[in-house]
């Protein structure tokens, strides 16, 4: 059976009865996190997940809850994010176009595709990559997308020497938010490097998983190295202490981007 909605907003999307109990679809999207209290739905605040739920539910005419590949914090951006949802009808047509017509302009869907019903957006991800952007100076056009440092000079070479230590460890409790319900603080970091192009300084980090606030705490502590406040040996001791109070500040969320998820 084929069902075509009379709703003008979704009249180019065709829903077909599924042969199995449900079908699973992946969504590839990006978003500017400035106006959102993170990815996850929370009471009385706006989240990315809430906006996606409403758009997919409107198109499928069912009550849909999307599952994200991760949970970005308030103000954090994502240039690549994946999520999945289950529906008992096969969806055909230009789904990304219809979703984008229902979503705010700061959330953009690039692709929607059917996957095996056991494929999971969060648990099947093998790595995630983040970038943290620092602008050395003042730039009014990057205020929402970088942390601007204009009164102090950073020693990037020292910061990179310290960053290499991250690849020697797996327990990163030091850089985790204190009140969190994780079952382990272990993460396998495979990349941690600073790269500078003129005034833009970017920290690239990849791991199989990340703890809450982890990247922002690492960046804050590495900046302390670059400012000469702590040494490379101090950085090692901070990691080994497993004590968040020993690490540096949590840098502003606006400079952080989730950039890639691999499956």
pLDDT in tens, 227-251: 999 999 999 999 999 999 999 999 9
In sequence order, which residues have a C-beta less than 8 Å from that of residue 109 and are 6 or more positions away? 27, 28, 29, 95, 96, 99, 100, 103
pLDDT at position 151 is 82
Answer whether residue 17 shows pLDDT above 60: no
Residue 191's nearest CA partner among 172, 163, 171, 217 is 163
pLDDT at position 113 is 96
Answer whether residue 14 shows pLDDT above 80: no
Query: What's the CA gap between 133 and 255, in Å, rounded?
Result: 5
Q: What's the rounded mean pLDDT across residues 109-135?
A: 97
pLDDT at position 15 is 57
- Tell me the two tokens of residue 136: 């050395």
pLDDT at position 13 is 62
Active-site residue, from 44, 73, 94, 233: 73
Residue 194's nearest CA partner among 233, 225, 170 is 225
73 is catalytic: yes
- What is residue 186's DSSP assignment? B
In sequence order, which residues have a C-beta less than 8 Å from that of residue 227 and are 6 or more positions away? 152, 154, 155
pTM value is: 0.90
Digit-coded pLDDT (tens) for 195-228: 999 999 999 999 999 999 999 999 999 999 999 9
pLDDT at position 4 is 36
Digit-coded pLDDT (tens) for 29-66: 999 999 999 999 999 999 999 999 999 999 999 999 99
Give whole-number Cα distances, 214 to 150, 163, 174, 186, 195, in Å.
24, 14, 9, 12, 19
């Amino acid at each position: 059976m084929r069902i075509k909605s009379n709703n003008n907003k979704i009249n180019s999307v065709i829903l077909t009865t599924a042969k199995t109990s449900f079908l699973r679809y992946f969504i590839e999207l990006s978003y500017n996190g400035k106006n959102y209290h993170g990815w996850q739905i929370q009471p009385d605040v706006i989240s990315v997940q809430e906006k996606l739920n409403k758009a997919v539910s409107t198109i499928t005419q069912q009550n849909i809850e999307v599952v994200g590949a991760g949970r970005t914090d308030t103000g954090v951006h994502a240039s690549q994010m994946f999520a999945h949802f289950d529906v008992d009808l096969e969806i055909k047509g230009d789904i990304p176009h219809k979703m984008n017509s229902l979503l705010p302009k700061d959330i953009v869907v690039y692709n929607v595709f059917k996957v095996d019903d056991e494929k999971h957006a969060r648990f099947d991800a093998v790595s995630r990559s983040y970038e943290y952007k620092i602008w050395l100076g003042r730039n009014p056009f990057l205020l929402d997308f970088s942390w601007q440092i204009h009164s102090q000079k950073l020693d990037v070479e020292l910061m990179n020497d310290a960053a290499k230590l991250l690849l020697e460890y797996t327990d990163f409790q030091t850089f985790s938010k204190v009140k969190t319900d994780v079952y382990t603080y272990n993460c396998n970091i495979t990349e941690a490097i600073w790269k500078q192009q003129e005034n833009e300084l970017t920290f690239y980090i990849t791991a199989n998983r990340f703890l809450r606030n982890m990247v922002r705490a690492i960046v804050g502590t590495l900046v302390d190295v670059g400012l000469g406040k702590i040494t490379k040996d101090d950085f090692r001791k901070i990691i080994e202490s497993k004590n968040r109070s020993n690490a540096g500040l949590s840098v502003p969320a606006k400079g952080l981007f989730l950039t890639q998820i691999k499956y």
